[in-house]
Amino acid sequence: MSEPRSLVDLSAQARLRTGAPAAAPRLRVLCCPPSGAAAGYWRFLVREDVHVLGVQYPGRESRFRDPAAPSLTALAEEAAAAAAAAPWAGDGVPLVVLGHSMGAAVAAELASALQHRHGLRPALLALSAKAAPGTDGPGTDGPGADEPADGDGPAGLRADELDSDEALVRWLRGLGGTPEAVLANPELLALQLPVLRADLRLSLAHDRLPAPVAAPLLLLRGTRDATVGRAAMAGWRAAAGGPVHVREYEGGHHPLAEHRDELLADLAACAGPSSSAPPPAPPSDPPR
């Protein structure tokens, strides 16, 4: 049975390429990519004993012709419904919901929807390089005046510059993670920038924390990430119903691929027990 278009089974794709046999996973990771990226962003996580699935946003790869989502919450709810209906749902393998940058906000909403709408409790919610809503600027409990605010704020890019291709390219170059060959290619930029612009608008408009998830929370950040500070990320604690763990990896805004084995070890170590029962029919009025 194939996954819905909103989910991409990256582990299955890897087996097709390599001919490797399927192995029983010890961990399942449902991954939400950053703004402008597609599900394939997470291919680096694939390992024989880890089942990796990427959330595919509209407007890219297999969903190239799909219109942009109306909200970040809609992205999460679509993915949650697909995950809850998947043949692996509730099979007892610990489910980690992981998101990076804009994807962290999607992941938080996704994990909450899985629990409160579909009765499927994740084993861990892992959020990387994204300020919690309401902490994207200086404040008494948010980042200080000298601390970076939010990579999707977007730091170094004013809201009135979102329509400027030059400003977006400058911002991407400052973040790192995008090959210079892409940034210097007008044809590739013509495909990527509209998707990035739509994602940034969704991220900027998202201003709420979801209902707390009864799972551990893992906060991830690069040691040299100039886009988000520790205090801004700490705001996600309000969305946690379990213990909170913090890990920092050497690097900038995109450190996860360079620390794959360390990341997978941290995900496994921080994950708690997840619900192994098949998800019941969703309630008509989930808590908020």
Residue 18: which pLDDT band, with cuts at 50, 70 and 90? confident
- pTM (2 decimals)? 0.85
Residues known to be catalytic:
101, 253
Q: Model confidence over 88-97: pLDDT tens digits?
A: 998 999 999 9
Interatomic CA distance for residues 83 and 106, integer angstroms: 14
Domain positions in the chain: 7-139+150-270
Question: How much helix, strand and coil, in percent to the nearest 5, is found in the chain?
Answer: 40, 15, 45
Whether domain 7-139+150-270 has CATH 3.30.70.990: the reply is no
Average pLDDT over the chain, rounded to an integer: 85
Residues 6+ apart with CB under 8 A from 97: 30, 32, 107, 110, 111, 114, 122, 124, 125, 126
Instruction: Supply the DSSP symbol for 252.
Output: S
Interatomic CA distance for residues 133 and 110, integer angstroms: 15
Q: Which of 9-13, 48-52, 175-179, 217-221 has the lowest mean pLDDT?
A: 175-179
